[in-house]
Amino acid sequence: MSPEIVGVIGIVLLLVLFMLKIPVGIALIIVGVLGTSIIRGWDIAFSQLGRTPFDTAASYSLSVIPLFILMGMVLSYTGLGSDLYKAVDSWIGHLRGGLAMATVGTASIFSAISGSLNATTATVSKISLPEMEKFNYKSSLSTACVAAGGTLGILIPPSVILILYGILTREPIGDLLIAGIIPGLIQVLLFIATIAILVRRDPSLAPARTEKVKLIEKIKSLKDVWPFLLLFLISIGGIYLGVFTPTEAAGVGAVSSIVVSIISRKLDWQKLLASFNESVRLTAYIFLILIGATLFGQFITISRIPFKLTTYVGNLDLNAYVILALMLLALFLLGCFVEGLSLIVLTLPIVYPIVTELGFNGVWFGIIMVMAINIGSLTPPIGISVYVIKGAAPHIPIQAIFKGVIPMIFAMVLCIIILIAIPELVTILPDMMNK
Amino acid sequence: NSSGDGSGDSQSSGSEDGKSHNLIISHFLPGQHPIQTQVFEGIGSELESQTDGRITYELYPANALGDAGSHYDMAVTGEADIALSVYGYTPGRFPSVSVLELPFLAESAEHGSKIIWKLYEEFPEIQDEHSDTEPLFLFTAEPAQLISKDYKIESPDDLEGLRVRSPSPLGNQILEELGAAPVSMPMGDVYEALERGTVDAAMVPLETLYNYNFHEIAEYITVGNFSATPFFSVMNKDTFNSMSEEDQELLKSLVGTERSAEAGRVFDIDGQEGRKLAEENGAEFIELTDEQLKPWKDALESVTQSWIDEMEAEGIPGQEIYDRAMEIKEEVRE
Amino acid sequence: MERLVRHLCLGLQYVAQFVLFIMAIMVTLDVLGRWLFKSPIIGTVDIVEVGLIIVIFASLAFTHLKEEHITVDFVVEKFPKRIQSIIEMFINLCITVVMLLISWSLWGNAIRLMESNTVTGDIRLPLHIFAFFAVIGTVLFALVSIIFIFKYGQKVVKKDES
Ligand code: NA
Ligand code: NA
């Protein structure tokens, strides 16, 4: 049996195990180990099984996940997050879907602190989901805008993935990071537009507030927002002034959020303990999936499917744009099963030389690659962002979240099309910087 | 970028001509890195053509099969038939090879690579550290220099109180002796840290100017050959033993001292590329002359001595290894 | 037995919380020390790295005890309750087997790390200690799923009697 066929059978088996309600992380581990042992032998599969969970956990870079989660939990449990949403509601609550739009905005601000997709998604979901629920937003809409907003984490600088892309391709990292800004803003606008269309077609998704709020009330609501603003100022300021690295920003953010909530007298012992308790549980939950995804990814790697698929598309004798489109389609399909970081590592050695040889700009393709990874993080069966949200809001059915993000995926595809049509949107800032 | 016979198994059934093998090669560098495109493709294509395709290989770059720090173990367990990574990612495991990290020893990557391979051939203690694998070639990157965005560093005094990204535990010692504050952070964080001033300088080889794009940031580069990072490429023992004697001979003829030097040269070339890019960007290179190096050498004598003491305490002939390394340093220089 | 496992889970859960707290504090003090006094805390990277191992493996089992690990549940939920309980038994059997295999493989990895003296970079913390700790976490995970096998088993039997 060829490795490719074992790979395909593995993917089918994974879906079957999901249907049988085997926990996602466990199912990924089972298929990863079985597949590897068929292609390379049991002893190899078991060595990998002993090493990968430990290696995945022993990671300084991934420490941003629990630390940002802790920051989000503290903001959520102390009500600082809800103060923010109250203020936003008093100003734009009469707009249908206003809070959902504000969530995308919150996510974009968080993206300027966090360079990680999972960390951004987890933090924003903990702050935003309960608040939108309070205002009777349907969960399909609220989770969709958190999932979409979270993807901004690696598009708007800092970004772990763009730095990795720069190291793997030697494209200028400074250019890559700056290049993400305009596409990030376009993406924000497209998400907001999508929300506007959704609530227009189905007003029950997001009830608008009918009673008027007096101006004085609006202004009063702002006074509760200062701790939140202070926190962002510390985090963003600290990163851009070089006081700490984006990785360290997670730890500093967590401690600052505790300090700020003590100062604003929002924190008691009970709430602090609850924040820690939920943080470590959500961390364990996310890492079981990450460990499974890594083992499964290693299996898919040696099945050679990503290699064969991208090489096949690259060798087609077609128009440059058609090849690009097929390549993105291949990335989309692979993104359904392969987690983002692995996807870049696996496909870039094949895809990047082809794309640049076709005459496309390497920095521009870096941004397109990030968008492809972002879409992959939202698509079933392995949609890490969706799983993270499910972890933060366990009562919402997973299929409802997957269904809810579909319009957001369309918005992301539209953004890719815009960037293909007008590549200058990506390259203008780096070009200006290099002058 | 590779050839697979599709079986993915390193020990397929034997034929009249001998067993066929499909070697899984894993390393932590990017897929376009010359270590893959030149060194490994070089070994692999020779093996393939000289055995009429009986021995094939598959390349897995960029940690696709496992973390950089686990690559040695992956070769021990057979997860990879051949693995390549940096010794320093598993501190404590290979104490003797850290001799290459001592200041002012290696003068280029090729130079350092020749030293490490010769030391390996001569010292059973170093061979013992690799007893669970079959080493193919050992090499070093070019020695680390000091790069900075805002600080022109000419003497150890200029380093006083600066925050400097350190490459290794030994790097920490070197920097502390020089009066700097060593900072540990993963390579992925260094670009932004240098740019925003989170660290004032970084102790890195010149190839990083090219491979990590530091040429975009570096304004001052002090060249003094402070510490070289050693690398290994090793093979799984069972895979090696499963090969016929002729195949083993063939493989051995393709690796060893020549290949070690070639792997080093790859980094030297990247270092020159990095230097060129940085110069084009207007960076100033401060080449420390023998006279200027004097205060640096005085300051760092204690680092070498404490390395020797540490080794001796562990039962490793540190003094002997160091003295021999200093001799080889002269012998292999061209 | 069940009470012991529950207490162990809860105990480890507190360990995880404490370590997460230490990680956050260490990063902050390191940053402050480096920025204000140019004296970073050597070993912060090491502690954060091994800290994450503890946080994860110390809370895996507790998270399963709360039945929080994610599942895709839209087929099984349509089955009759008794079938569901049987499936849950099967699921927890799978988890038990997987976790015991991981524990065994992690043990092998821990032995390798111990025999090779592998330590962390800056302050030379022996890595195998944390690998052995990870084994404790996954064994506990297996024990929790064994408890669930019995729990759902009782549900199946009860339905039989009624
Ligand atoms: Na970001
Ligand atoms: Na996906």
Whether residue A332 is contained in a domain is answered as yes
Domain end (from A35, A58, A81): A58
Domain end (from A58, A79, A96): A58
* Chain C residues in contact with B163 (beta carbon < 8 A): 34, 38, 40
Q: Which of A407, A366, A405 is nearest to A383 (CA)?
A: A405
Instruction: Tell me, in angstroms, the distance from the centre of ligand 2 to residue A385's CA.
Output: 9
Mean pLDDT value across chain B: 92
Instruction: Tell me, in angstroms, the distance from the centre of ligand 1 to residue A161's CA.
Output: 10
C 103-132 → B contacts, CB under 8 A: 109, 112, 116-122, 124, 126
Residue A99 shares a structural domain with residue A134: yes
Distance CA B88, CA B101 (A): 10
Position of tokens 């998270």? C63
What's residue A224's pLDDT? 83
Q: Is the pLDDT of residue B137 over 60?
A: yes
Residue A47 shares a structural domain with residue A96: no
Task: List subunits contacting chain C, requiring 3 or more Cβ pairs under 8 Å.
Answer: A, B
Residue A248 shares a structural domain with residue A362: yes
Which site among B36, B56, B67 would you substitute to test the A interface, given the most A Cβ atoms closer than 10 Å to its Cβ?
B67
What's residue B78's pLDDT? 95
Whether residue A394 is contained in a domain is answered as yes
Whether residue A132 is contained in a domain is answered as yes
Q: Is the pLDDT of residue A229 over 90?
A: no
- The encoded tokens of residue A126 equal 């903990």
Q: Backbone dihedral region of C31: left (phi > 0), alpha (psi from -120 to 50 degrees) or beta? A: alpha
Q: Is the pLDDT of residue A57 over 80?
A: yes
Ligand sitting nearest the alpha carbon of A64: 1
Q: Is the pLDDT of residue B2 over 50?
A: no
Distance CA B8, CA C135 (A): 31
Record: contact C40-B172, CB cut-off 8 A: no
Using a CB–CB cutoff of 8 Å, tell me whether A173 touches chain C: no
What would the pLDDT profile of B266-286 be if each residue is shown by its tens digit? 999 999 999 999 999 999 999
The pLDDT of C50-57, averaged and rounded, is 97
Q: Is the pLDDT of residue B77 over 50?
A: yes
The pLDDT of C23-50, averaged and rounded, is 94
Residue A75 shares a structural domain with residue A16: no
Which site among A13, A15, A18, A22 would you substitute to test the C interface, given the most C Cβ atoms closer than 10 Å to its Cβ?
A22
The pLDDT of B106-122, averaged and rounded, is 97
Whether residue A286 is contained in a domain is answered as no
What's residue B1's pLDDT? 36
Record: contact A63-C58, CB cut-off 8 A: no
Domain with A125 in it? 59-281+294-432
What would the pLDDT profile of A113-163 be if each residue is shown by its tens digit? 888 888 889 889 988 999 899 889 999 999 999 999 999 988 988 888 888
Which site among A170, A241, A315, A339 would you substitute to test the B interface, given the most B Cβ atoms closer than 10 Å to its Cβ?
A170
**Which pLDDT band, with edges at 50, 70 and 90, does A348 fall under?**
confident
What's residue C160's pLDDT? 57
What's residue C161's pLDDT? 52
Record: contact B188-A51, CB cut-off 8 A: no
Q: Is the pLDDT of residue B16 over 50?
A: no
What's residue A231's pLDDT? 86
What's residue A64's pLDDT? 87
Distance CA A290, CA A53 (A): 9
Cα angle for residues B218, A425, A413 (degrees, 5° grid) = 115
Ligand sitting nearest the alpha carbon of A150: 1
Report helix angle A181-201 to A98-111, nearest 10.
160
Residue A109 shares a structural domain with residue A41: no
**Under 8 Å between Cβ of A338 and A382:** yes
Number of structural domains, chain A?
2
What amino acid occupies position B332? V
- The model's pTM is 0.92
Whether residue A289 is contained in a domain is answered as no
What's residue A158's pLDDT? 84
What's residue A313's pLDDT? 84
Tell me which residue in A22, A53, A273 faces C91 most closely, judged by beta carbons.
A22
DSSP letter for B235, please: E
Ligand sitting nearest the alpha carbon of A380: 2
Using a CB–CB cutoff of 8 Å, tell me whether C42 touches chain A: no
Residue A199 shares a structural domain with residue A341: yes
What amino acid occupies position A312? Y
Tell me which residue in C48, C50, C68 faces A394 most closely, judged by beta carbons.
C68
Residue A211 shares a structural domain with residue A98: yes
Residue A109 shares a structural domain with residue A13: no
Q: Is the pLDDT of residue B237 over 90?
A: yes
What amino acid occupies position B49? S
What's residue A239's pLDDT? 86
Whether residue A287 is contained in a domain is answered as no
Tally C-beta pairs within 8 A across B and C. Answer: 50
Which of A19-28, A313-322, B169-178 has the lowest average pLDDT? A313-322
Distance CA A282, CA A357 (A): 43
Q: Is the pLDDT of residue B13 over 70?
A: no
Distance CA B254, CA A407 (A): 56
Cis peptide before B103, with omega less than 30 degrees from 0? Answer: no
* Chain A residues in contact with C105 (beta carbon < 8 A): 46-47, 49-51
Whether residue A288 is contained in a domain is answered as no
What's residue A342's pLDDT? 79
What would the pLDDT profile of A66-98 be if each residue is shown by its tens digit? 998 999 889 888 888 888 888 888 888 788 888
Q: Which of B56, B80, B57, B54 is nearest to B67 (CA)?
A: B80
Ligand sitting nearest the alpha carbon of A181: 1
Radius of gyration of chain A (CA): 22
The pLDDT of A345-358, averaged and rounded, is 82
* Chain C residues in contact with B168 (beta carbon < 8 A): 121
Q: Is the pLDDT of residue B5 over 70?
A: no
Distance CA C108, CA B198 (A): 40
Q: Is the pLDDT of residue A358 over 90?
A: no
The pLDDT of B161-178, averaged and rounded, is 94
Q: Is the pLDDT of residue B145 over 50?
A: yes
The pLDDT of A37-51, averaged and rounded, is 96
What's residue A113's pLDDT? 82
What would the pLDDT profile of A93-113 be if each residue is shown by its tens digit? 788 888 899 899 888 888 888
The pLDDT of B196-200, averaged and rounded, is 93
Whether residue A206 is contained in a domain is answered as yes
Domain end (from A19, A35, A58): A58
Instruction: Tell me, in angstroms, the distance from the centre of ligand 1 to residue C22's CA.
Output: 25
Q: Backbone dihedral region of B63: left (phi > 0), alpha (psi from -120 to 50 degrees) or beta? A: left
Q: What is the ipTM of this complex?
A: 0.93
C-beta atoms surrounding B9 within 10 Å: 17
- The encoded tokens of residue B234 equal 């090793």
What's residue B14's pLDDT? 43
Residue A37 shares a structural domain with residue A127: no
Record: contact B79-A242, CB cut-off 8 A: no
Distance CA B200, CA B187 (A): 15
Record: contact B181-C121, CB cut-off 8 A: no
Cα angle for residues A148, A150, A152 (degrees, 5° grid) = 85
Residue A172 shares a structural domain with residue A31: no
Residue A420 shares a structural domain with residue A326: yes
List the shell of residues around ion ligand 1, using CB closer than 5 Å.
Answer: A 111, 115, 153, 156, 158-159
Q: Which of B22, B9, B7, B6 is nearest to B54 (CA)?
A: B22
What DSSP element (H or E) covers B44? Answer: helix B41-50
Report helix angle A246-263 to B187-196, nearest 10.
70
What would the pLDDT profile of A361-416 be if each residue is shown by its tens digit? 999 999 999 999 899 999 998 888 999 999 888 889 888 999 999 999 999 999 99
Distance CA A281, CA A386 (A): 17
Residue A114 shares a structural domain with residue A180: yes
Distance in Å, alpha carbon of A211 to nearest chain C alpha carbon: 40
